Structure 1
Amino acid sequence: MVKQKFKNHKRKYSATEIRSDMKEDLGMDLTYIMCWRAKEQAIEYLRGKPSASYGKLPAYIHVLNTTYPGSHIRMKKHEDNEFLYIFIALTTFIQGFDHCRPMILVDASYLRGLYNGTFVAACTMDGAGHIFPLAYEIVDSENDAFWTWFFQNLKEAYGEREHMCVVFDRNPSIIKVVAGVYKNVPHYTCMWHLWVNVKKKIRKSHNALSEIFYTMAKSYSKSEFHNLMEKVEVVDVRVKNYLELAGYDKWARSCATVHRGWTLTSNIVESINAALVSARELPIYDFLEEVRLMFGRWNCENRQEALYTRTNLIEKFQAIL
Structure 2
Amino acid sequence: MTVIVYQSLNSNSSSTHGIKASNSQNFTALTHDHYSGQNLSAFSLIQPTLPTGSPYTPVYGPPSKLELAPQGYMAKGSHTDQQFLSMVEGKARQMHQTLIRFSEKCDLMVFGELDNTHSDWSSLQFHAGPFLSSTFGQAKRACQCFSLHSENSNVSIIASDTSWVAVKCIDIIVLFVHVPNSIAGSPDALLIYYNDIKNEVTNAKGGGTIDLVMGDTNQKSAGVTPAALTKATGSTFIDAHAEKKINPFDTYNQSFFGTNSKGTEKYDVAVYNSQRMKAPEVVYLSQFSPNDEGSVNAITDHMGVAVKI
TM over 0.5: no
Higher strand share: 2
Please give the TM-score of this superposition, normalised by the length of structure 1.
0.30
Higher helix share: 1
Rg larger for: 1
